[in-house]
Structure 1
Amino acid sequence: MDKIAVRHIATAGVTALALTAAPAAAVASAPAGGSSAATAASSDSFYTYDGSKPLSSYAPGDVLKKRTLQYHVVGIPTPVKAVQLLYRTTDAQNRPSAGVTTVVRSPGGDGSKAVSYQSFYDSLNPEDGPSRAIAGDLRLGGVIANAESLFVAPLLLQGYDVVIPDTEGQSADFAAGPEYGYNTLDSIRAAGNSASGTGIRPDARFGLVGYSGGAIATNWAAALAPGYAPDVDKRLVGYAEGGLLVKPSHNLKYVDGSLVWSGVIPMAIIGVARSYDIDLKRYMSDYGKKVYEKVEHASIVDALGRYPGLTWKKMAKPEYADPNSVPEFVEAVNKINLGSAPTPTAPGFIAQGNGGVLEGTFSNRPGVGTGDGVMVAGDVRALARQYCDKGDAAIKFRQYDALSHVGAIVPWVPSALSWLNDRFAGKKAPSDCGNIAPGNSLAPDKPVPHAR
């Protein structure tokens, strides 16, 4: 991303947030629990739980630390204040962990309604998280999170308080859907906790919204809420998402050899390995290990278009040319298959592009089909149909056949906001159940023997 693009993002983001600046002075009264100035991410002690009690002794959503600071856009401070919270949550292996979220109060809000906005910052570097970008850490990977200020500002202006969790956790467990969901749900708990000082009421109604990586967090949060956080589930008005990762093993085949999105292959391998503490490097070829090491702390900005034509086969040893011949990998990707997750009880709006050729993905493999360049349209249709069949909540579904992953966000944003507004207004959720075309099988993958 060149300097001109960064400057345009900064100008647009600051302008958008500045619209809320004058009334947002009221937010400044929120009590600070730490420094109000931006701190270098690498030395920021706010992110570390250093209490005397074991982390496991806290309940999910309990507030561990808090601070108030200025909301920064590409390193530029705005007059808008944000409260950041360190809170207890759960990682991909169901172990206690500490997460971070950012709460921005609406100038016209009363603490009774809020939107949890899940960022698509997609990174293997914890320092690219939205909380660090908002605190003023200027990194190329964090530019994505800063650009999303353009989506946050309209929510604030319509009276919604906005909660922005670091969905990937503090290890940047890329693509670990269950962890994304836990972090999101406990972020909502923390924001409404009386110890947070945010002013968001414990009974506040919430909507979930996110695109791409943010859609992973949004859908997993909606799916896990009934069992993991029923206290949050009963307050959800609905979830709106676009560009969704459903069955990662299909996505791996879909982007295999693509021109732009093939860089996601090593990111996914690393994210799965990191999330579930498995060593996948021992299955990699010498070339694969070199790519692995280069991408190990990369963001999506670093990886896209960096390895055109990259395939799993090029990264793996010859005997592991089929990813299903790596049993630990199969076990892990099955854990992050939304097709095997619970069914949400809240209504949903799910949108998906299908013009992936526009972004250099020409794949159309049997059982996988086409998509938006990185996400598989048939998987998303199958999930929407599954929710219609198994659940009682209405599902609105849209497939943008002529739009790619990046392009589909343009019609999705106003549609998602309008859909959420109607849910908060108490209007009956529309349903496309019965009119959604068939999709792919979402059955768990099975391991196969490796070549001899």
Structure 2
Amino acid sequence: MPRNAARLLVTAVVVAMAATAAPAATAAPSTATATDTATASDPFYAYTGSEPLSSFAPGTVLKTRTLKYHLVGLPTPLKAIQLLYRTTDAQGRPSANVTTVVPSPTGGHDKAVSYQSFYDSLDPEDGPSRAIAGNVSLGGAIANAESVFVVPLLLAGYDLVIPDTEGQSADFAAGPEYGTNTLDSIRAATASAETGLDSDTRFGLLGYSGGAIATNWAAALAPDYAPEVNRKLVGFAEGGLLVDPAHNLRYVDGSVVWTGVIPMALIGVSRSFGIDLKPYLNSYGAEVYQKLEKGSIVDALGRYPGLTWKKMAKPQYADPNSVPAFVEAVNKVNLGSAPTPTVPGFIAQGNGGVWEGTFSNRPGIGTGDGVMVAGDVRALARQYCSTGNGSIAYRQFDLLSHVGVPVVWAPAAVGWLGDRFAGRTAPSDCGRIPAGNSLAPEVPAPTS
């Protein structure tokens, strides 16, 4: 990657993560339109065709529009092509979602990066497609700040595909849905005649934090869900990964900064799978739940210091595993139970979470970066090695927190992807990754 592009990437990481940390197929018939704004009532996001969505294959393009790429509401010279496409939700039902394709001014459409944003929100209005179309909101600050990632990637000749990974109901932390949304986004991008991408375009997957959830689930689901996409993938690069949500909820329980992700994850996962957790909450838990139903990470970080599951639950449900719906939900999104990706992977994880106000060591869970559990990520990497993927590179940064890691991860991840596009043999840390945690599914607590 050119040196100036690397510098821009580091700058992008700092800006985007600073925003995060502040508490505060054949195409279906369609009509092309153009607009420079996205509002709550934007009709582009609604599928209004006469045929049921189930009649279209996943990845089918339903609508197309071309607009200027916006940064904090201001149009730039970059062109963005947005696609409404058919995908599949976490319950296996057909759904519609939006992705954005940004062609590189220097590339030849032969290589593309599917960039999964860490916009982390329960409000559909905060998705990256909205920010790219010109929408400006507090919850969308992440997607707006993160937009500067496009500069170094585009300068390096990569076309970008940026899906709204959480779908149109913003199902935060619902990994399987993130994965299908991402894979069908690639299908749509290569099916559209407007993007310049086609069946010969090779793809790399890239994402951090919430973007890593989508990146890993897409890589894991691709061989069975989208084998033709899997054949185009050169690899996946990710950092700050959520592996076993039950462990993460215990890890951040009672901490200072990240406790707001507890209700956010509960809302997003239960929403995705149609699971109702509200009957198990006390009045305070119900109040927090209601406040965050359309909240973003900006609304949650640092707003609920010391929050625990126990403070939110009715007394008889003080142990979350006494709630069958909770056990069902977290087991559905445990990456340890998902298939092993068949393409090379670069996985990075911080282990300096004490700097972000999270207890440095939880019994049975260990340490992490403040929100993600390092032992879980090591265990997943080792699992991939032991189940046949010998091309896993792993890096653990013991002195860096979740916010600090991207500054060193991002240039390394883009460089790693560049080597995969160049056809160089993927490095492997298999056999050298320290032991991690058990990723076994949660077991319901015995009832009295």
- Is 1:365 the equivalent of 2:362? yes
Instruction: Extract unaligned runs of 5+ from structure 2.
Output: 1-7, 16-29
Which residue number corresponds to residue 296 of structure 2? 299
Match of 2:34 in 1: 35
Q: Which amino acid aligns with 1:292?
A: Y
Runs of 4+ in 1 over 2 A off after TM superposition: none
Equivalent residue for 1:233, pick from 224, 230, 233 = 230
Q: State whether residues 256 and 311 of structure 1, in contact with CA within 8 Å, keep that contact through their aligned partners in structure 2.
A: yes
Count of matched residue pairs: 423
Q: Matches of 1:411 and 1:140 in 2, distance apart?
A: 27
Match of 2:194 among 181, 194, 197: 197
SS at match of 1:43: coil
2:394 aligned counterpart, secondary structure: strand
Residue 288 of structure 1 corresponds to 285
Tell me the equivalent position of 1:405: 402
Match of 2:86 in 1: 88
Q: Deviations over 1:250-306 (max 9, x none)?
A: 000000000000011110111121011111110001000011111110000110000
1:376 to 362, 373, 376: 373
Structure 2 CA distance for partners of 1:264 and 1:352, relative to 1, 3 Å? same
Does 2:51 match 1:53?
yes
Q: Offset of 1:141 from its aligned partner?
A: 1.2
Which residue of 2 is the match for residue 5 of structure 1?
none
What is the Cα deviation at residue 416 of structure 1?
Answer: 0.2
Amino acid of the structure 1 residue aligned with 2:361: N
Q: Is the 1:355–1:404 contact (alpha carbons within 8 Å) kept by the matching residues of 2? A: yes
Partner of 1:314: 311
Give the conservation status (yes or no) of the 8 Å contact 1:252–1:265.
Answer: yes
Instruction: Tell me the CA shift for residue 36 of structure 1.
Output: 2.5
Q: Would the alpha carbon gap of residues 196 and 130 (structure 1) be closer, same or farther in structure 2, given more than 3 Å must change?
A: farther
Deviation at 1:196, TM superposition (A): 4.2
In 2, Cα distance between equivalents of 1:337 and 1:270: 16
Aligned match of 2:438 in 436, 441, 444? 441
Out of 123, 126, 142, the position equivalent to 2:124 is: 126
Amino acid at match of 2:289: Y
- Of 67, 74, 85 in structure 1, the residue corresponding to residue 65 of structure 2 is 67
| Structure 2 residue aligned with 1:21 | none
Does the CA-based 8 Å contact 2:340-2:387 persist in structure 1? Answer: yes
- Partner SS for 1:328: helix
d(CA) in 1 for partners of 2:148 and 2:433?
Answer: 31
Q: 1:196 to 1:445 in 2, by over 3 A?
A: farther
The whole-number CA distance in structure 1 between the counterparts of 2:88 and 2:150 is 26
Amino acid at match of 2:405: A
**Equivalent residues in 2 for 1:145-156, closer than 5 Å:** 145-156=143-154
Say if 1:208 and 1:218, in contact at 8 Å, map to a contact too.
yes
SS of the aligned residue for 2:139 comes to coil
- For residues 244 and 154 of structure 1, the distance between their equivalents in structure 2, rounded to whole angstroms, comes to 23
Q: CA–CA distance in 1 between the matches of 2:407 and 2:108?
A: 30
Tell me, in whole angstroms, the C-alpha distance in 2 between the residues paired with 1:395 and 1:39.
Answer: 40
Whether the 8 Å CA contact 1:346–1:393 is kept in 2: the answer is: no
5 Å-filtered alignment, 1:316-395, equals: 316-395=313-392
The partner residue of 1:178 within 176, 179, 186 is 176
Deviation at 1:32, TM superposition (A): 8.1
Identical columns (%):
74
Give yes or no for contact 1:85–1:196 (8 Å, CA) kept in 2: no
Contact 2:340 2:389 in 1 (8 A): no
1:417 maps to amino acid: V
Counterpart Cα distance in 2 of 1:449 and 1:327: 11
How far residue 419 of structure 1 moved from its aligned partner, in angstroms, is: 0.2
The separation in 1 between residues aligned to 2:360 and 2:330, in whole angstroms, is 21
Deviation larger for 145-154 or 438-447: 145-154
Check if 1:271 corresponds to 2:268. yes
| Mapped contact 1:367–1:441 kept (Cα < 8 A) | no
RMSD of the TM alignment (CA)? 1.5
User: Which TM-score applies when normalising by structure 2?
Assistant: 0.92
| 1:392 to partner: Cα distance | 3.0
TM normalised by structure 1 equals: 0.92
C-alpha distance in 2 between matches for 1:95 and 1:247: 24
Instruction: State the SS of the aligned residue for 1:343.
Output: coil
Unaligned ranges ≥5, structure 1: 1-8, 17-30
